[in-house]
Amino acid sequence: MADVAGRAGAWLVCGPGCTRCCHTLFPITPLDARRLQRGLAETRRDDPHRARGIEARARDAAKTLTDGLPVGSDGRRLVQDEARLDAFFQRHDGLACPVLNPATGRCDLYAWRPIACRTYGPPLRFADERTEACDLCFDGAPPEAVEGCRIDPDPDGLEQALLLRMGIEEDATWDTLIALALIADPASDGR
């Protein structure tokens, strides 16, 4: 990301206090979930007050998300039904990420954030799929400059290798949501 940030310069407007992407619901991988859980555990140890804030926001978000939550019987894994997921994500668009600190506008688990958060802003490439850049970025940039900033978030396949080491097969999907990854029991209020 540092390389693309250097190439993009002022066209990449992402930074502290820019929270637009923090108000978008999206799936995270099991590796993302583990990272967040590890970060929350370290935060509990190092900054219990901040950890309690994250946990309270995660519980509140999980309660809000129960409206049509498309998960399996475990209460955490998203079902693989694109139409249901799209409708669910649209219905909850604008919900703040529970890790976003509302007082500071910063991510309280920044070092442990999901890959989607770490790569948001520039246009992305995943094998045959291409995504557009954040519409706040690259305003007025010529198309060739935007394309020159396109990145593959995991060009060496490290995320996939780690998922396989976790016992998650390449074709198996086991995505969840940030709030669900951070609460103790998705069927309860987390107490």
Q: Write out pLDDT tens, residues 131-178.
A: 888 889 999 999 999 999 898 888 888 877 887 787 765 555 678 999
Annotated domain spans of the chain:
2-182
| Residue closest to 178 by CA, chosen among 87, 62, 72 | 62
| Residue closest to 88 by CA, chosen among 64, 54, 121 | 64
Phi, psi of 23 (to 5 degrees): -115, 30
| pLDDT tens digits along 46-92 | 999 999 999 999 999 999 998 788 888 878 888 888 899 999 999 99
From the centroid of its chain, how far is CA 101? Answer: 15
Query: What are the tokens at 136?
Result: 């706040």
* More confidently predicted of 159 and 105: 105
Task: Tell me how far apart the alpha carbons of residues 66 and 154 are, in angstroms, rounded to a whole number.
Answer: 32
Task: Tell me how far apart the alpha carbons of residues 130 and 122 are, in angstroms, rounded to a whole number.
Answer: 11
- Per-residue pLDDT at 44: 97
| pLDDT greater than 80 at residue 45 | yes
Task: Tell me how far apart the alpha carbons of residues 51 and 72 are, in angstroms, rounded to a whole number.
Answer: 28
Whole-model pTM: value is: 0.83
